[in-house]
Amino acid sequence: MNKKQDLPWDNPRFRNWIALVRAEKAVVAALTKALQPLDLKLAQLDMLMNLYRHPGMSQHDLARKLLVGRSNITMLLPQLETRGLVQRENDAKDKRVMRLTLTDSGEALLMEALAIYNGLIEQVMSQSSPAECDRMGAMMQRITEAMKVE
């Protein structure tokens, strides 16, 4: 038995999976660098985007949406609160639940960050036709579903 036959390098699925992972790392690196002037980290941007789309979300729901533990949210929230970007309020029906909303400053910073993010997306995705972008999105959705990730 030839050991080389057992190695995945020539398998198109393996090769393309590695290409996908490298693309994700390149996007993360480029976006991280682009957000530095705003003093905003990717995890913080993700939180702001979700709170903009779902105002009043609980800390627990935000953690589930971001696929992180509640402790991650608990660590990041004070940073965003100190900067005046997010506010926490007790739920009117259940005082144990904290509801999160963006402040006006948080929304303004998010809009700046989204302009940067959208510019990066346009730069990269303009190399593909709308149909290719749709196929890529469908493939990414299938990968997400296969990995059982929300």
User: Could you tell me the two tokens for 43?
Assistant: 């995890």
Alpha helices (H) along the chain = 3-6, 12-35, 42-53, 59-66, 70-82, 104-125, 130-146
* More reliable by pLDDT, 149 or 101: 101
d(CA 24, CA 136): 13
Its pTM surpasses 0.85: no
| Per-residue pLDDT band at 81 (split at 50, 70, 90) | very high
CB 133 within 8 A of CB 124: no
What pLDDT score does 54 carry?
95
* In the predicted structure, residue 92 carries a pLDDT above the cut 90: no
The tens digit of pLDDT for each residue in 95-114 reads: 888 899 999 999 999 999 99
Q: With respect to CATH, is domain 39-147 assigned 3.40.50.10490?
A: no
